[in-house]
Structure 1
Amino acid sequence: FLAVLRIKLGISHGCRETERKALIDFKRGLHDPSDRLSSWVGEDCCAWEGVGCSNISGHVIKLDLRNSRRCKRALRGDITPSLRSLQQLNRLDLSGNYFMHKPIPKFLGAFRRLTYLNLSGAGFMGRVPDQLGNLSTLQHLDLSWVDFTNAANWFQDLNALPHIQEIELSSCDLGTFPRSLSHVNFTSLTTLDLGYNDINSTIPDWLGNMIDGEIPQFFPKLKYLFLSNNSFSGNLSPRITNTMPSLQWFDLSMNNMSGEIPFSYCQLRYLEGLQLYENNLSGVVPNCWKDSSNLLLLDLSSNKLVGGVPDSLCNLQTLESLHLSHNNLSGPIPLCLKSCTELATLDLGHNNFIGNIPTWIGESLLSLKTLNLRSNAFNGSIPRLSSLPSLRILDLSNNNLSGMIPQSFGDFSALKSAPT
């Protein structure tokens, strides 16, 4: 009766024999030092570690052999062409293994149902095969730490993916970057990570959209943009609200950007994180943050900013981390900052702030874990800060403080270090 029921409902009770043989052949081409594939025996490959099958058809639809632990657990060897038999595969993750500096196999472009492909940190290098552009259903692509030194047309290939949502290409030695594109096919893109590539150029027109005239929404769904640790130069585009209206996290840190911070950055209504540290930005911190109600992290440290802390920052009730160190900021710490009660990190070190260290820091900012006020021009006595129950790092060194160190400093329960 159960067998008849399985036939009527089309429910499978094991994997397909051709796919089982393909997986066995794949295993033979691998060196498995920690015996991770020891379960790959028997007739039912759907029960093997890292293999997932459809409950209906029995086809292998997932191969997840990621190595997130230690190098000695990495699979080594070749990806055999026999894997082409897995035509129903929609998820392939080989990240963290080591495939001997071989190029990415061209036949991976034959997996027309693939929605998720992760080959990051797996020892691939060389040309990205044009065939990846055939993955018409691909939504997530992670090739981080793949060596792109000899990959010439990598971006054109990725631009051919019609449904791509997430592209992660950090630490790939991308080198060249297309200055312009006749067509940008990223209307579904939500995540773009090009960090740590030492790209030496201005931000391309199609990405920064510094063109004149009508501004198309090249990235209407983009939420996360990571461009850190490159050599991008030029000014920040004021048109970011038009090209990327859904942006939640923007990391352009450790580049060579210059000029002022445009007011339009305050108009990104969904923005949660803005990291512009270690650039050459100048001018003042714009006084326009009153409507940035979702902002959790603002890091403008290590630039050439002047002026004071703008009052509009005090409207950020959800702000957890404020980093303004290593600039030329001056003036007192504004009283209204006491309303940012969710602050866990307040880093104002290496500036020209003056006046007394406010007593309200120890009374209102009860979530503080890190307080860095070093290398400023603060004077007067050290206020009582021992009521901050979570404070772990306190740095008040290189100021003009006087008087005794408060006895209450001995009451800190979480403090790890307190240079004064």
Structure 2
Amino acid sequence: MAEPRSLARIAMILATCYLLFHRSASAPAPASTLCIPREREALLDFKAGLTDPGNFLSSWQGVDCCQWKGVECSNGTGHVVMLRVNTGFYCPWLIGGEIRPSLLTLQHLDWLDLSENDFGGKPIPEFMGDLRSLTSLALSNSNFSGQIPPHIGNLWNLVNLQITNSDDLTVPQAYQLISPDLAWVSRLWKLQLLGLAGVDLSAAVDWAHSLSMLPSLKDLYLSFCGLRNTMPPPAHSNLTSLESISMSRNPFNQSFGAINFVWNLHLPSLQFLSMMHCGFHSSIPDAVGNLTSLEYLYLDGNHITGTDTFPLTFKKVKNLKGLSLIDNFINMDVARELLDRLPSDKLEMLSLDNNNLTGSLPIGIRELIKLRGLWLSSNNLYGTITQSIGELRELESFDLSHNLLRGEIPGGLSALSALTRLNLSYNNLTGTIPSGNQLRTLDDQASIYIGNPGLCGPPLRRNCSGIDITPLAPEEHEGMHDVVSIYLSMCIGFVVGLWIVFCGFLFKRKWRVMFFLFSDHMYDWVYMQVAVGWISLARKIRGG
């Protein structure tokens, strides 16, 4: 799976949009509401310290500041309650400059959004910890640097805190913001969303203890924070409301069982867990069975090994909908070891690409009746594709490419009316490709079956009439010069003896039949050579 943007960034954007919409819908300021004069002056002083190359603040003039762009006032009192100062995502003209303490005049401000700006590496002002009415503070991706001021821990009313410090958390980047500990976070007992992805927390040894004191916390984003070993888990945890944890790309580099924050705490509400590229090794611990509310588990890019990757307790995770362990070293037998340990009740997505899975797809795969996506490419699967695959009526995406599968493609695939993506390339499949309206609607059909020299029938140009048109083996390429010579001779003969050939075809029916058979043979061979070369080149480019 490609990673264009991290899940943490997407979730925080959606959360911000939701809260912004909720605030805008619940407290619109009518045209008759006038802002407080001293607050208007504070806003003008704040504007004077900023640089605004895109003229985002051009509306900040006149008497009524409640009508200015990015400003919202209370219906009843006229006090400024929301301030959003940024040009929006990916705008080339970013707001910058200095954040002046005149903001402290806005004592009724409960929403402040200064994200997606460029403050030139300046530190986050300490005085922000005095905006005691704030319920939401967004400072993400605004080019702040230095230590996050612990004074932010004085904002006891905060519900939403986002200080993500990276525009793209899928690639390593240099840290700009740091926090030597998270003791200040432990005082934000109303906090529901905490986003510190991309902030250097490598020195925060007791981070798990600080976070465990947040009884209202629902969403936690700590990807790419340099987190390592943790202290023993606290005796009591208040994280009973926690629903989502994103902790990918932290150098834990240890066995799963050592991550006490996840496995040894009581997390009855946890639905989403992402710990990709964290250097985990060994198998998933038995304690995973305690996460009975878990719906999505992402563990891609670790070093998970062994034939007992999934403990027997994994069956207890009955609400699981999505499971991804791409790019690991799992060497389980699919039929005898893997399927028996997966919770089958609600599973919709199963992604185990690029592992060491063996065995064949058993008839028991039909028990995953809710499955919409099944990705098992680049493993060591062998045997035939079971006919029961046709019973997965909700299957939308199916990838078995780059395995050792043989035999015919089951006809049941053509009955999967929801199927939109199929990849069976680079196996040892043989026989006629099943016909069916659904299979004919798939995009890039030739690439679906490429690398299976024994397949024939549409959409391939290799027919199934019994004529031997198997692609040339590598050792036969030495005769390529002879083929070129034949083509050249044919062209010369065609130019010189056009009238002879034409007359011969006109009166000799046998000549016409042999010529067209030969033409079909050569067309098929050239088509397959070009297609195989193109697909191989594209994969090398993506892999590099």
TM bin, normalised by shorter chain, reads: 0.7 to 0.9
Which of the residues 290, 301, 305 maps onto 1:254? Answer: 301
Q: CA deviation at 1:107?
A: 2.7
Using the alignment, how far apart are the partners of 1:92 and 1:389 within structure 2?
A: 53
Which of the residues 66, 72, 80 maps onto 1:60? Answer: 80
Q: How many residues align?
A: 394
Check the 8 A contact 1:89/1:113 in 2, yes or no.
yes
Q: Which residue of 2 aligns with 1:164?
A: 191
Q: Specify the SS of the correspondent of 1:73.
A: coil
Using the alignment, how far apart are the partners of 2:62 and 2:228 within structure 1?
A: 49
Inter-CA distance 290–328: structure 2 relative to 1 (3 Å threshold): closer
Q: Which residue of 1 aligns with 2:259?
A: 205
Q: Which residue of 2 aligns with 1:401?
A: 454
Report Cα offsets for 1:22-61 as digits up to 9, x if no partner. 3222222221111111112222222222222222332222
Looking at secondary structure, tell me which structure has more helix per residue.
2
Q: Which residue of 2 aligns with 1:73?
A: 93
Moved more, 277-286 or 348-357: 277-286
Q: Which residue of 2 aligns with 1:99?
A: 119
Q: CA deviation at 1:143?
A: 2.7
Q: CA deviation at 1:371?
A: 0.7
Report Cα offsets for 1:145-183 as digits up to 9, x if no partner. 346466243444444432333333444442233512536
Q: Which residue of 2 aligns with 1:319?
A: 371
Q: CA deviation at 1:384?
A: 1.8
Moved more, 266-275 or 38-47: 266-275
Using the alignment, how far apart are the partners of 1:383 and 1:88 within structure 2?
A: 68
Q: CA deviation at 1:99?
A: 1.7
Which of the residues 88, 109, 120 maps onto 1:89? Answer: 109
Using the alignment, how far apart are the partners of 2:128 and 2:364 within structure 1?
A: 51
Moved more, 137-146 or 45-54: 137-146
Superposed CA RMSD? 3.1
Check the 8 A contact 2:227/2:250 in 1, yes or no.
no
Q: Which residue of 2 aligns with 1:191?
A: 244
Check the 8 A contact 1:136/1:161 in 2, yes or no.
yes
Moved more, 183-192 or 367-376: 183-192
1:108 equivalent to 2:156? Answer: no
Q: CA deviation at 1:200?
A: 4.4
Residue identity matched to 1:106: E
Which of the residues 149, 164, 167 maps onto 1:129? Answer: 149
Using the alignment, how far apart are the partners of 2:191 and 2:382 within structure 1?
A: 46
Which of the residues 379, 384, 395 maps onto 2:435? Answer: 384
Residue identity matched to 1:13: T
Q: Specify the SS of the correspondent of 1:63.
A: strand
Using the alignment, how far apart are the partners of 2:332 and 2:408 within structure 1?
A: 25
The structure with higher relative contact order (CA 8 Å, sep 6+) is: 1
Check the 8 A contact 2:314/2:342 in 1, yes or no.
no
Q: Which residue of 2 aligns with 1:225?
A: 273
Inter-CA distance 93–231: structure 2 relative to 1 (3 Å threshold): farther
Report Cα offsets for 1:323-382 as digits up to 9, x if no partner. 1112222332222222222222111112222221112112x2222221111222222222
Alignment TM-score, normalising by the size of structure 2: 0.65
Check the 8 A contact 2:35/2:66 in 1, yes or no.
yes
Could you list the runs of 5+ residues in structure 1 that have no partner in the other structure?
1-10, 210-214, 410-417
1:273 equivalent to 2:327? Answer: no
Looking at secondary structure, tell me which structure has more strand per residue.
1
Q: Specify the SS of the correspondent of 2:43.
A: helix
Q: Specify the SS of the correspondent of 2:366.
A: helix
Residue identity matched to 1:250: L
Using the alignment, how far apart are the partners of 2:99 and 2:184 within structure 1?
A: 21
Using the alignment, how far apart are the partners of 1:292 and 1:368 within structure 2?
A: 20
Inter-CA distance 386–269: structure 2 relative to 1 (3 Å threshold): same
Could you list the runs of 5+ residues in structure 2 that have no partner in the other structure?
1-30, 167-173, 200-223, 463-530, 536-544
Check the 8 A contact 1:289/1:316 in 2, yes or no.
no
Report Cα offsets for 1:291-319 as digits up to 9, x if no partner. 54433322111122223335554233332
Check the 8 A contact 1:109/1:131 in 2, yes or no.
yes
1:339 equivalent to 2:387? Answer: no
Inter-CA distance 136–179: structure 2 relative to 1 (3 Å threshold): same
Q: CA deviation at 1:67?
A: 4.2
Q: CA deviation at 1:255?
A: 2.5
* Structure with greater Cα Rg: 2
Aligned residue runs from structure 1 range 330-369, under 5 A: 330-362=382-414, 364-369=415-420
Q: Which residue of 2 aligns with 1:415?
A: none
Which of the residues 282, 286, 293 maps onto 2:331? Answer: 282
Report Cα offsets for 1:75-119 as digits up to 9, x if no partner. 122322222233333333222221212233323333334333332
Alignment TM-score, normalising by the size of structure 1: 0.82
